[in-house]
Every structure is written in structure tokens, then in C-alpha cells.
Amino acid sequence: MIYQLILGIWLVGLYSSPNAQLIMLILTNICHLAYTLKVRPYLNNINLIFNILSTLCIIAFESYFIYFFNNGSKMFANQKYNIAYPFLIVVDIFCVLMVLWGFWRFIWEINLYVKNFKGTLLYLEFADHDYVG
């Protein structure tokens, strides 16, 4: 919650200066990355890995934007495209992996809820016919 609030303040407060806005966003994402690595607020390791990779991808994307803002008038469109093309391919592959991870995460959460529900007294009393209580 605090992370989104800080990002909102950077985006609104620095609306007229995109370079400063992107630098503050990069610093905020680096702080978020450090927090994630220090606290590790996830139940399993794959969620931690994808959160780290997505934060690194966002930092790289913001760094590309800073590069293009500073060199915008000096470069032609095809030069920008040639520089950004490999990065766009990597981002597309990462987005596909994030979608697959989202499906896996949904299935993992549903299995966790079902497993926890099967241990409740409500399930044992009414659905488990072998339960003697």
C-alpha cells in the first residue's frame, strides 16, 4: 500500500519533468527490490523470483525511457527501434511468462484453500463420511 502511494506521489508531483519522474521511479523500484530481497514476503520461492524479475524489468524499462528522453532529438526513429528491439523481445517473453505464472499462482492458491478447507470441522462433519467426531 505504501509503495503504491509513493509511486502516485512521484507521478503526480513530478508531472512536468519526466526525467526526474523516471529517476524517482527507478529509486523507488530499487527500494522495493531491496525490501523484497530482505523480507521475502511470499510463501514459496517462485513468487519471489517472478517479483524480483518483474521489478528488474520495470527498472530496465524506465532506464530505456531515460535514455530515449535524453537522446530523443539526436536519434532517428529507426535508430531507436534498432536499440529497443531486443529489449522489446525480452519484455514480450517476460509478459508471456508472467501470464503463465499468474495461471500457476491461481491454481496454487485454489489448491491451498481446498487443502485448508478439508481440514476444517465443517468439511469433516458433513463431507467426510469416514470422520468420527
Tell me the whole-structure pTM to 2 decimals: 0.60
Q: State pLDDT tens for residues 100-122.
A: 888 988 998 899 999 998 888 88
The lowest-confidence range among 51-65, 68-82, 88-102, 114-128 is 68-82
pLDDT tens profile 5-45: 776 776 677 677 777 778 888 888 898 899 888 887 666 67
pLDDT, tens digit (0-9, with 9 covering 90-100), for 63-78: 888 877 777 667 777 7
**Cβ contacts of 90-99, under 8 Å, gap ≥ 24:** 90/57, 91/57, 91/61, 94/53, 94/54, 94/57, 97/50, 98/50, 98/54
Write down the pLDDT at residue 114. 92
Q: How confident is the model at residue 1 (pLDDT cuts 50, 70, 90)?
A: low
Asked whether 98 and 65 are in contact (CB, 8 A), the reply is: no
